[in-house]
């Protein structure tokens, strides 16, 4: 058994991270300590495989990493009871949007911090995780915890986490919203609701499979949209007078503004 990893908070994102770790073995369940105020199915699954749930706080002194996944407004309150028990070299891994690394480090008495912005796709080990840390050691801890469950992207400047959050953290919801609109458009053109939803969802999965690799996005579009063809006609209508580009830009700008606001 190695030095454990502590996960505080098993909400939607915390649960997804835990599911990914259990799926991939990125963290041995025997090396997991989970802090949660309520019973969670994924935490119980981890307990069945050797994880410790809400053990005496004195055991936290063994931890090499403390992953804090509570709501940003609650992190100081949640960290107060555990702080006296953490080792000085424990790395704080924050998956909270909007709370700056310096603020977190101060709250944890100067401990090293790595900020990670993962998507919930980490549950299937197919997530995206943006990482920023002020020092290489903390960055390495974040990479070790998230590389097995996500494609990791490292940023040099902490403020760019706002843009990364707006693009990748929020991005899945944008794609789901577009998929919903695509299904509704199919219904308007005569498809049954069941057929339209199945086609739209399957198309999203197919498109995601096609984007694997490094082929340019323009090339991927050209692969589907033949000049003068059906797809090109749809794309022209979709982005008439730059409507699509402006809508996406507005969504990202609004998300960046909200993330910046939350950071104080």
| pTM summary value | 0.87
pLDDT in the model for residue 264: 67
Half-sphere exposure for 260 (CA within 13 Å, toward CB): 9
**Angstrom distance (rounded) from CA 233 to CA 13:** 39
CB atoms within 10 A of CB 128: 20
What are the DSSP calls for 193-260, one per residue?
HHHHHHHHHHHHHHHHHHT-SS--HHHHHHHH--TTSHHHHHHHHHTGGGHHHHHHHHHHHHHHHHHH
DSSP calls for 147-169: TTTEEEEE-SSGGGHHHHIIIII
- Contacts (Cβ under 8 Å, ≥6 apart) of 253: 166
Q: What is the pLDDT of residue 263?
A: 77
Which domains occur in the chain, in start order?
5-165 (3.40.50.720), 171-262 (1.10.3730.10)
pLDDT tens sequence across 195-247: 999 999 999 999 998 888 889 999 999 999 999 999 999 999 999 999 999 99
What does the DSSP 8-state code read for residue 109? Answer: T
Q: Over 60: is that where the pLDDT of 1 sits? A: no
**Residue range 80-138, pLDDT digits in tens:** 999 999 999 999 999 998 889 999 999 999 999 999 999 999 999 999 999 999 999 99
> Percent helix, strand and coil across the chain, each rounded to 5?
60, 15, 30
Flag the least confident range among 27-31, 74-78, 144-148.
Answer: 74-78
Residues 128-164 have pLDDT tens digits of 999 999 999 999 999 999 999 999 999 999 999 999 9
**Average pLDDT value over all residues in the chain:** 94
Task: Give the pLDDT of residue 262.
Answer: 80
pLDDT at 62 over 60: yes
pLDDT at site 97: 85
pLDDT grade, residue 167 (50/70/90)? very high
């Amino acid at each position: 058994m190695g030095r454990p990893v502590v996960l505080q908070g098993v909400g939607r994102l915390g649960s997804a991270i835990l599911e990914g770790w259990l799926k991939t073995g990125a963290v041995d369940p025997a090396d997991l300590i989970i802090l949660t105020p309520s019973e969670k199915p994924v935490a119980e699954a981890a307990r069945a495989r050797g994880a410790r749930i809400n053990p005496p706080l004195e055991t936290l002194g063994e931890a090499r990493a403390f992953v804090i996944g509570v709501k940003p407004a609650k992190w100081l309150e949640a960290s107060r009871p555990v702080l006296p028990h953490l080792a000085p070299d424990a790395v704080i891994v924050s998956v909270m949007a909007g709370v700056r690394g310096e603020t977190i480090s101060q709250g944890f008495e100067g401990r090293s911090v790595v900020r990670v912005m993962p998507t919930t796709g980490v549950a299937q080990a197919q997530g995206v995780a943006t990482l920023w840390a002020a020092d290489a050691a903390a960055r390495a801890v974040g990479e070790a915890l998230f590389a097995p469950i996500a494609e990791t992207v490292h940023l040099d400047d902490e403020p760019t986490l706002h843009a990364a959050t707006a693009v990748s953290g929020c991005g899945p919801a944008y794609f789901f919203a577009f998929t919903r609109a695509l299904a509704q458009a199919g219904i308007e053109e005569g498809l049954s609701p069941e057929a339209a939803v199945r086609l739209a969802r399957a198309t999203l999965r197919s498109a995601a499979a096609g984007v694997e690799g490094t082929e340019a996005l323009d090339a991927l579009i050209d692969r589907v949209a033949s000049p003068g063809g059906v797809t090109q006609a749809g794309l022209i209508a979709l982005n008439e007078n730059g409507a699509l580009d402006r809508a996406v830009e507005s969504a990202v700008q609004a998300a960046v503004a909200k993330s910046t606001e939350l950071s104080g």
